[in-house]
Chain A
C-alpha cells in the first residue's frame, strides 16, 4: 500500500487508512480516488498533483 502527499500542505493520503470522512474507506487505492478530488486540508492541489512518497 502506498502513501501520497499534497505538495502544498503535506497532507498525506495513506491507502492503508484511506480518508473515511471524504468517502474513501481504509484500503481504498489512490487510483480509485477521482481526479478532481482536492486536498482536504488546503484545497489548492488536486489529486493529480499529489506525489508518491512511499510504496
Chain B
C-alpha cells in the first residue's frame, strides 16, 4: 500500500459535489484498503492455524500460536508493511459509509470467532493435551476473544439495532458485555480526564492500570445503567438491563459449552476471558496515556480534541483493528464507520502501531522510556498539563518538572 497524504477535499470534494458526482470511479478514487479488510478475518482463524502448525510439525509450541502471532509476528509485520496515511475524500464519506460490503467484513468475524471457541473447547478436553498445551491453547483463543472486542467496539458504536446486538454477542466470550455501555456512555464522555478509569495516567504502569480500569469500568457501567432505570422508575434487576442481558449471554454460552464438553471446560472459558479482556485493556492503556483535557471556567472539560488520543498509521495494525488507531477521528466522530475514519495531521502519533506498543506496555520501564518524553513534548515541555498518576506525581515532576521538561523537549526539537 502506497503511503500518501493526499488532501482530497479541494481536489475531489467541492468540485465533484457541485457537479453532482457521487460515483467513486468518476472521482478517480479507489479505497486502497477495501479488500485488505478481509484480512481481519484471519484473526479468529488463529486457533485453526495452531492446529495446522501442530499437525505439520508435531510441535507442542503450536498451541501457543496466538500469543506468538500477536506479540511477535504482528509487530514485525506491522513494521514491514509500512504506513498508510491516506484519507477518503470527504465528499465520499457518506457513500463509503453506506457501502454494506464493509459491514460484512465485521459481521463475518463472529461465526469464525465462535467456531474457534467451540473447537478449542473440544481440543482442550482431549486426554493427550498436557497442562502447558492447555494454557497455550487458552491464551491462543484468548487473543481471539480480545481482538473480537475491537470488532464489538466497531459494531457497538453504530446506530443500527442489528449491529448493537452483534456487538454484545462478540463480547460474550470475554464476559465484557458491560463494555458496550461503559465505553459509549462513560469512556467517550470522560476520556483523557482523571475521572475516566479507561484513560491511563502518566507514570502508571499497565499493571497498576489494569485493576483500576477493570474495576472502575465495571462500576461506572453499573452506575450508568442504574441511573437509566431510575429515570425509567423501574427495577434495574431486569432482562432489559443491557449489562445483565449481555452478561446472561456469557452465562448461557459458557453453560452450553460446559454441558457439551464437560465441567473441565470451565477453567478454559474463564482463563481465555481474562486474557481476552486484558488484551482490550492493554489497548485502552496506550490510547490516551498521559493525555489530558483542560477544564474550562464553567467546570466543563474542553471538548475531546484530536490532541487527546494517540494515533498510528501503521497499515497492518489498522487493518487488523478496523482503523482503531485513527483514534482521534474516532473520538471526534464516534458513530463514523471504520472505513471512513481519517488520519489527522496534528494528532499525536505513536512511534509504531498498536501491535508493537502493546508489547512495550507489558514492560513498564521501556514503556516509560519511550512514552513519557513524548507526553512532555506533546505539551511543549509542560509536564503539569499531562494526566499524571497521583502515586507517581512526585517522581514525574522531579524528572520532567520545571526546566527539565522544557530543556529536554527543546533538545528533542533541535
Contact = CB atoms under 8 A, between A and B. Distances in A.
A38 B189 contact: yes
Contact of A41 (B159, B228, B304, B331): B159
B278 interface: no
Contact of B185 (A8, A23, A38): A38
Interface residues of B, number: 18
Contacts of A22: 228, 231
B414 interface: no
* Interface-central residue, A21, A38, A42, by most chain B CB under 10 Å: A42
B188 interface: yes
B33 interface: no
B231 A8 contact: no
* Interface-central residue, A9, A21, A40, A43, by most chain B CB under 10 Å: A43
Interface string B306-345: 0000000000000000000000000111110000000000
B331 A24 contact: no
Interface string A17-39: 00001111000000000000010
A1 interface: no
Nearest to A8: B333
Nearest to B227: A23
A44 interface: yes
4 closest A-B pairs (Cβ-Cβ)? Answer: A23-B231, A43-B188, A23-B232, A9-B335
Contact of B189 (A8, A23, A44): A44
A44 B184 CA distance: 9
Contacts, number: 38
B94 to A, nearest CB: 12
Interface residues of A, number: 13
A26 to B, nearest CB: 13
Contacts of A44: 188-189, 303-304, 331-332, 334
A42 B231 contact: no
Nearest to B185: A43
Interface in B219-249: 228-233
Contacts of B232: 23
Nearest to B303: A44
B333 A9 contact: yes
B307 to A, nearest CB: 15
Contacts of A41: 159, 335
Contacts of A9: 159, 333-335
A21 B303 CA distance: 26
Contacts of A40: 185
A13 B331 CA distance: 22
Contact of B231 (A11, A24, A38): A24
Contacts of B233: 23
Nearest to B300: A46
A50 B233 CA distance: 25
Contacts of B229: 23
A42 B333 contact: yes
A21 B225 CA distance: 11
Given A9-B333, A9-B335, A21-B228, 18 more contacts: A8-B334, A9-B159, A9-B334, A11-B159, A22-B228, A23-B233, A24-B231, A38-B189, A40-B185, A42-B188, A42-B333, A42-B334, A43-B185, A43-B188, A43-B189, A43-B334, A44-B332, A44-B334
